[in-house]
Structure 1
Amino acid sequence: MTRGFARLPDAPAFRLTDLRVPACLIEGSDIPADRRGLARVNLAIADGRIEAIEPAGALTAGAMPTLDLDGGMVLPRLVDCHTHIDKGHIWPRSPNPDGTFPGALATVAADREANWSAEDVRTRMGFSLRTAFAHGTAALRTHIDSLGKQIGISWPVYAEIRAEWAGRIALQASPLFGADAALDPAHMAAVIAAVKAHGDRLLGCVTYMIPELDRALDILFQAAIENGFDLDFHVDETNDPAARSLEHIADAALRHRFTGRILCGHCCSFSLQAPEDEARIVAKLREAGIAVVSLPLCNMYLQDRQRGRTPRWRGVTALHELKAAGVPVMIASDNTRDPFYAYGDLDLVEVLREGTRILQLDHSGPDWACAVARTPAEAMGLWNAGVIAVGAPADLILTRARDWTELFSRPQADRSVLVAGKPIDRTLPDYRELDHLMANAT
């Protein structure tokens, strides 16, 4: 089995010495960090949990098997708060004809109608989770297309998959449908029933500037309040500055005095607002306690695409400004090998690496690693995930990179992933395993 570079001691208790950890991801420690935000530490691990966090070089009592990481960077297992594993890996049978957002919508709709049986969805979901697990993902939220007959197909499958993966990846799911569907009482009743029976106390939709947007949002917020649900929205995935459903969501949250968690994804058009409009919207987001997740890989692929013309903008939201204002911000994988994004592997190390380049996260503070770890864990209500803490599971990603430029210059294919202190098999599933699902091209 492929276990990465590390030869861990085969013992219930051992010590990892001389490792560099982003200080922002160490819980309850005052070990100083260097100018790159990295703290040099030792970790004592016993019975699958972190027993102690000490400064590197500290003298500790008691003999214990030891692995010296020689200054290599270590991360907690990471948290992917916005994915679509029900869509994943349909590209071979349903490629996007022109790479555009409308092309993606139409192609997925046709593929869903023709092919999304329970077995098809189950197989592709499982393949996606095996990939994410091998790369070092601890928790993942997926959106579930929830329209018509698909509600009764995908949600029971999701519940089975979540139970199967318990203890390896913590799964959450949020329903996905257009805001106009929220105006249909029968649709809303079916979605709420599916979430109650099979889901995770989450409700959401895709928002866009329909005349009835505020009424649709009132229906969603009221349903969330009545059922104790959190909310997760796809928002303004466009380069049209007139698309401001993000502000409408904030207004609805304040109007309903909503106390649950709200996560808004994409928010592409927010980066194109005039300064005075941006400031007003940011203030509302902060007051409403809304968090924002950017999906840099997918939005670079889709946004501002015109045949024969070089794109003029990156498609990402104003993450720096939101973070500076105190709005929780994060980045995530989004789609993988489907019409919305032809590539991707649910690898959050890749997402952080490419997100750093796309969003220019470097030269702007040492704590951006929180965007794929601590912050999405908090947005998902998961405690002791995305951090390195005494008493937390020893769920770690070990690398040979000694600083950020080494980490981001290579894909870290030789990383080791520990779950409860044990190295996992990092062998990735072969795409050929999905070939039998690809016969029916749309």
Structure 2
Amino acid sequence: MGSGFASLPRTGRYRLVRASVPVSLADGATLASDGDGLALADIVVADGRIEAVGPHEVAGGPGDAPEVDLDRGMVLPCFVDAHTHLDKGHIWPRAANPDGTFPGALAAVGADREANWSAADVAARMDFSLRCAFAHGTAAIRTHIDSLPAQAAISWPVFDAMRAAWGGRIALQGSSLCGIDVAVEAGYLPAMAGLLKRHGGGLGCVTYMSPNLPGGLEAIVRTALDAGLPLDFHVDETLDAGAYSLRLIAEAAIRHGWSGAGNGPIVVGHCCSLSTQDAAEVDRTLDLVAEAGIAVVSLPMCNMYLQDRNPGRTPRRRGVTLLHEMKARGIAVMVSSDNTRDPFYAYGDLDVLEVYREATRILHFDHPVGDWPRSVTATPAAVCGFDGVGSIRAGAPADLVLFRGRTWTELLSRPQSDRTVVRAGLAIDTTLPDHRELDPLWS
């Protein structure tokens, strides 16, 4: 079952001993951290839940349950992927991006959506993506759903059915996605809000420096407040320093008292233009983001793929946003998968460990590691409202990922394809679906 360890017991109570556990993820446990934020711990599992977490040879007491010696292998809680596009996933074989640019991606996806996105097509690709994520150890996903009027009527019922089918394995949330100009078309927002209420979705759109932006943000925030919908935006996905819709979103949130409305924090993704703006604009914007209680998710693999791409020229800029500066202000920050094998990103497999590994290298989540592992676990769980996931704590479901790597440098140096994924205390089959299963969609 994808494991280098002895088989886990199938029932009852057992102890994972000599586990290397990130202290930042062991909520409620008293553990002594080493220089990399890890502690040697024992985890007691009983009837599918974590019974206790404590220093090695303390939790649960020696000899009171079968033991599985992890030999200092790392243990993480199952992952939370806060920004994905399950409806776009895996269309690359029939909708390749000709030049790898953002405009090229928009054109390729638009043509493919118009020609091919039937309910059956969307469902097949969503299910394939979820099987990949499940095998890699993900327990919760928020996906953006392309919600142009004609497509919304197709994709949202598919998402609703998929969420029910995957209940108990992957908790799913959805958020609408369209351009700000579409969102403000006459009659669209009320109709979309109604659709989202029926299907349990959140409201979102892509913001950019359009003449419709100020009025559009007012309408969207008011609609979300009136309908009790969460908000999740794609923001300033460009290296143009003149793109500052993030600041306008923060100002709108403050003006409308969003943080006290009970809808959860507004989530914004990308925010690439911050990396090109001067210090005064950055400080002004981030102070407002912190005041508004907005949470930020960076998509490092996709942003590096699309941003600063010019034929025959080596890219100079990463395109990722300013997570260190945000975190220093107390802003909740996350990293996530984003697109998977579609025109916006030709690669990926919804493996959040890969996301975290690349984020560590791209965004320097190290020296010290600190609590950065929360960016793919506890923080998105709290921001998105996924209960019972994202931490290793007594009383939580025993949803864990066990690795052979004993330290961060071991864990992040290899794909860890021999990981053991534990759900409700049991090791699952981690066999990945074969891409050939999707071949009928291209023929």
The aligned amino acid for 1:246 is L
Describe the SS at the equivalent of 2:115: helix
Matches within 5 A, 1:6-155: 6-58=6-58, 60=61, 63-155=64-156
Describe the SS at the equivalent of 2:267: strand
Q: What is the aligned partner in structure 2 of residue 214 from structure 1? A: 214
Equivalent residues of 1:18, 1:41 under 8 A apart:
yes
Aligned-residue offset at 1:4: 5.5
Aligned-residue offset at 1:196: 1.0
Q: What is the aligned partner in structure 1 of residue 418 from structure 2? A: 414
Q: What is the aligned partner in structure 2 of residue 348 from structure 1? A: 352
Equivalent residues of 2:190, 2:223 under 8 A apart:
no
The aligned amino acid for 1:168 is R
Aligned-residue offset at 1:361: 1.3
1:259-313 C-alpha deviation (Å, 9 max, x unpaired) = 3320000000011111111111111000000010000000110000000000010
CA distance in 2 between partners of 1:61 and 1:366 (Å)? 30
**Residue from 300, 310, 320 that aligns with 2:314:** 310
Describe the SS at the equivalent of 1:293: strand
Aligned-residue offset at 1:364: 4.3
Describe the SS at the equivalent of 1:36: coil
Aligned-residue offset at 1:186: 2.4
Describe the SS at the equivalent of 1:392: coil
Q: What is the aligned partner in structure 2 of residue 245 from structure 1? A: 245
Equivalent residues of 1:155, 1:199 under 8 A apart:
no
CA distance in 2 between partners of 1:421 and 1:339 (Å)? 38
Matches within 5 A, 1:171-186: 171-186=172-187
Structure 2's unaligned 5+ residue stretches are none
Which 4+ runs in 1 deviate beyond 3 A?
1-6
The aligned amino acid for 2:205 is C
TM-score normalised by length of structure 1: 0.97
Q: What is the aligned partner in structure 2 of residue 338 from structure 1? A: 342
RMSD of aligned residue pairs (Cα, Å): 1.2
The aligned amino acid for 1:57 is E
Describe the SS at the equivalent of 2:216: helix
CA distance in 2 between partners of 1:186 and 1:311 (Å)? 42
Equivalent residues of 2:30, 2:54 under 8 A apart:
no
Q: What is the aligned partner in structure 2 of residue 276 from structure 1? A: 280
CA distance in 2 between partners of 1:111 and 1:211 (Å)? 28
CA distance in 1 between partners of 2:58 and 2:215 (Å)? 60
Equivalent residues of 2:235, 2:245 under 8 A apart:
yes
Describe the SS at the equivalent of 1:326: coil
CA distance in 2 between partners of 1:9 and 1:130 (Å)? 24
The aligned amino acid for 1:409 is S
TM-score normalised by length of structure 2: 0.97
1:360-386 C-alpha deviation (Å, 9 max, x unpaired) = 111144211011001111110123211
CA distance in 2 between partners of 1:276 and 1:55 (Å)? 46
CA distance in 1 between partners of 2:370 and 2:410 (Å)? 15
Q: What is the aligned partner in structure 2 of residue 405 from structure 1? A: 409
1:148-169 C-alpha deviation (Å, 9 max, x unpaired) = 2101100000000000000000
CA distance 1:56–1:403, change in 2 (3 Å): same
Equivalent residues of 1:151, 1:190 under 8 A apart:
no
Equivalent residues of 2:2, 2:420 under 8 A apart:
no
CA distance in 1 between partners of 2:4 and 2:112 (Å)? 37
CA distance 1:390–1:163, change in 2 (3 Å): same
1:310-359 C-alpha deviation (Å, 9 max, x unpaired) = 00101100111111111110100000000000000000000000111111
Aligned-residue offset at 1:188: 1.6
Aligned-residue offset at 1:39: 1.5
Equivalent residues of 2:4, 2:404 under 8 A apart:
no
Identity among equivalent positions (%) equals 58
Aligned-residue offset at 1:214: 1.1
Describe the SS at the equivalent of 1:203: coil
Q: What is the aligned partner in structure 1 of residue 161 from structure 2? A: 160
1:289 partnered with 2:293: yes
1:230 partnered with 2:230: yes
Aligned-residue offset at 1:189: 2.7
The aligned amino acid for 2:357 is R
CA distance in 2 between partners of 1:193 and 1:157 (Å)? 17
Equivalent residues of 2:183, 2:189 under 8 A apart:
yes
